[in-house]
Structure 1
Amino acid sequence: MTKYIQTELGIEKQCIHCGEYFPATKEFFYASGYKRKDGTQTLEANCKDCYKQRFKPG
């Protein structure tokens, strides 16, 4: 399950692969393609670095 925490930087999300917390923005996570009922975009569970390592070998 996705974990979020509130810090002085704002809301941070935990990457399920590396376990690190990053700001819950598109700068650190890819958009998942789904939207919540309120219209906000959901984010992938992996941070961008882990996503690239796991799903875009190269």
Structure 2
Amino acid sequence: MKVLMIFPYLSGKGGMETVLAKVLTASDKSFNFSLFLPGGCSDQRWLQAFAD
């Protein structure tokens, strides 16, 4: 199942990033997550763990 998550902006250091990281790592492999951040992300280091 494909899931698109859209967030207008993330700082890269907050609670939403923590929740997203837990969801992405704990989810069933049958889910294909895409993350769309139209406003960007100030600190992208937390995304490196999810890079393909």
TM range (shorter): under 0.3
Query: TM (normalized to structure 2)?
Result: 0.24
Answer 1 or 2: which has greater strand percent: 1
Structure with a larger share of its residues in helix? 2
**Which of the pair has the greater relative contact order for Cα pairs under 8 Å at 6+ separation?**
2
TM-score when scaled to structure 1? 0.23
